[in-house]
Amino acid sequence: MRWFSWLTSSAANTLVDPVSGRKLYPIDGGIAFPDYHKQETADIPIRNVAMPSHYIVPLRVNPRFTARPIVDIGARVRKGEKIGEPEGKFGVAVHAPTSGVIRDLGHYPMTHVSGLPALAYFIEPDGKDEAIEPTPYRGACDDTDRIRDFLQQMGLAGLGGAAFPSHAKVASSPVKTLIINGAECEPWITCDDRLMREHAAEIVAGACDLAAAVHAQEVLIGIEDNKPQAIAAMQAAAANHGTVTVVAIPTIYPAGGEKQLIERLTGIEVPYGHLSAEFGVLVFNVGTARAVHRALTDGEPLIERVVTLTGAADDPGNRWVRIGHPIAELILEMAPKPEVDRYLLGGPMTGFAIPDLDAPILKGSNCIIAASPDLFPPPPPEQPCIRCGACAPVCPARLEPMALYWFARAQQFGKAQEFHLFDCIECGCCAYVCPAHIPLVDYYRYAKSEIWEREREKSKAQQSKARFEFRNYRLEREKAEKAARAAAKAAETKRRLEAQAKQSSTEASPGDTDSKQESAPSPQALGTNDPDARKKALVEAALARARAKRAAEATEPSGENRE
């Protein structure tokens, strides 16, 4: 029997949190699962994993932002040493997960649905795990700019799944409400639950650090009410922090979506094309909050995270895993059963089958599920859309999934954008309830990728055009400058020759005026830009002076007739 069924929850929209007494606001859509399959791993303490034979540390933190390699092949590195310099405003630094030797810098398969390779370091551990000297943050706790720069150099990225650079979310302007996301609404995943149970004090401390950095007036920690132990642990840790409130929210998927959690806790609906910071709200994952505290207090860069290992396995649970750990070696930690036919990265709703098990764990890798045909039967074949409209009521973003499907299928991407395609959070609710078994989210992802690719091509074309126009401008400028230099040189030559002609005229006798004038080149000839004409004029002037001199000598009386 399949582990899931679906139903929408209307009662969940009218509750008041009995823990904090805080009013909860309604959200649209969503699915309440009869079994979230969290009990398989939720009560097992987090453990460490054995060091792998190698690490593959990518320089691409997420599909959009990369770092620049700064360490040569063959160099020895230590744990926590920076090996990638952030590029651009949104890039984050990359650090070595352990001590060892860099054996290669090349393209390796990544944990992405496409399986496309990305530039990464291949590090061979030396087994010593020697770390660099930590450098904690020494500035003011409310110095937003310095904290943002520090977090960028510490490699902080969101641990909720998207791996969005954390420093980019630290707003320059003050915010009113800081939300720490502990909802963890997707089935099977329990890494945040265990983290809150075992490291609640560090999470609250990180929340307070972030609140000081962004000048937040209040901190709300939202946790789904199916995690009572995590709620109790976080309440105990927040007891002495007056601005921190732990809020239990109804269990419904996808309550952990950023916009959905904001609306549930504050009643603020972030519209299409806007960021939550514009409305005075910021959201960070609980794991990110702890990582921020460790970075600021202990100088510890983000080089590890908690990963849930679950599914058809004999030793499931949560593990501390360093970034770059090969998945092929990690899955051995959970002792997968023989019937496992594939592995999913992420949850069953938003995750995907891992195309290459040699790919590494990334900062956004939160769960690996050993999938078997019993737990996850193959989907039925796709059928034509019957226009039943079942997808619309469950959409938490208030979109029209059926219209987006038709536009994406017809490649009418402009229309899809008009219907707010990029407001889709790819939660999978629409595909989950579709009686025709249409993989709707795949169509939306396809449309988004095509739009992004066309935007990239358009940007490249604009850059090429700008380069071409600048080249033409440069050539025209150089041509004008060359002409100006030639004209200035000609003018100088003209001035010098005119001065010489004037001097020769004043030195000549009055009777020789005509001959001297005859010897001088004409101003018209000197003023020309033609070098041959100027040369001819100068020769003619010299010849004229010679003739004048001979004529003068011929008219002088001889010496024998002088008295």
Residuewise pLDDT in 10s, the chain (563 residues): 233 333 344 444 457 888 788 999 999 999 999 899 999 999 999 999 999 999 999 998 876 778 999 999 999 999 999 999 999 888 999 999 999 999 999 999 998 766 679 999 999 999 999 999 999 999 998 899 999 999 999 999 999 877 889 999 986 667 999 999 999 999 999 999 999 999 999 999 999 999 999 999 999 999 999 999 999 999 999 999 989 999 999 999 999 999 999 999 999 999 888 889 999 999 999 999 999 999 999 999 999 999 999 999 999 999 999 999 999 999 999 999 999 999 999 999 999 999 999 999 999 999 999 999 999 998 899 999 999 999 999 999 999 999 999 999 999 999 999 999 999 999 999 999 999 999 999 999 999 989 988 888 888 888 888 888 888 888 888 899 999 999 888 888 888 888 877 777 776 555 454 444 444 555 555 555 666 777 777 788 788 877 777 777 665 554 444 44
In whole angstroms, give the CA distance from residue 373 to residue 195: 30
208 is in an annotated binding site: no
Distance CA 398, CA 263 (A): 13
Closest C-alpha to 362, from 317, 326, 318, 329: 326
- Any binding-site annotation on 434? yes
> What is the domain count for the chain?
1
Give the separation between CA 357 and CA 185, rounded to whole angstroms: 26
Per DSSP, 359 falls in state: S
Q: How much is the pLDDT for 318?
A: 98
411 in a structural domain: yes
Neighbours of 373 (CB within 10 A): 12
Angle between helix 228-238 and 191-198 (nearest 10): 40
Q: What is the identity of the amino acid at 111?
A: T
Residue 460 lies in a domain: yes
Q: Is 404 helix (H, G, I), strand (E, B) or coil?
A: helix
With a CB cutoff of 8 Å and minimum separation 6, the contacts of 158 are 164, 165, 166, 169, 284, 285, 288, 363, 364
427 is in an annotated binding site: yes
- In angstroms, the Cα distances linking 521 to 420, 504, 528, 535, 538 are 80, 12, 12, 10, 6
The amino acid present at 55, given as its one-letter code, is Y
State which residues form the domain around 484: 382-488
Residue 421 lies in a domain: yes
Any binding-site annotation on 424? yes
Nearest in space to 267 (alpha carbons), one of 399, 170, 395, 179: 179
Cα angle vertex 557, ends 552, 562, to 5°? 145
SS3 string, 138-166, reads: CCCCCCHHHHHHHHHHCCCECCCCCCCEH
CA dihedral 173, 175, 179, 180 (to 10 degrees): 40
- Domain assignment of residue 396, yes or no: yes
Q: From its phi and psi, is residue 100 left (phi > 0), alpha (psi between -120 and 50) or beta?
A: left
The answer to the question of residue 77 being in a domain is no
> Which bin fits 187, alpha (ψ -120 to 50), beta or left (φ > 0)?
beta
* 191 is an annotated ligand-binding site residue: no
Binding site annotation covers 391? yes
The Cβ of residue 384 has, within 10 Å, a number of other Cβ atoms equal to: 7
516 closest CA partner among 507, 527, 525, 524:
507
Q: How far apart are CA 521 and CA 540, in angstroms?
A: 7
Report yes or no on 103 lying in a domain: no
List, in sequence order, every residue forming a beta bridge with 66; answer none if it has no partner.
Answer: 60
Q: Which residues contact 503 (CB under 8 A, 6 or more apart)?
A: none
Own/partner pairs, 169-174, CB within 8 angstroms, 24+ separation: 169/277, 169/282, 169/284, 170/144, 170/210, 170/213, 170/214, 170/282, 171/144, 171/214, 171/277, 171/282, 172/144, 172/145, 173/277, 174/214, 174/215, 174/216, 174/280
Whether 418 is in a domain gets the answer yes
Residue 512 lies in a domain: no
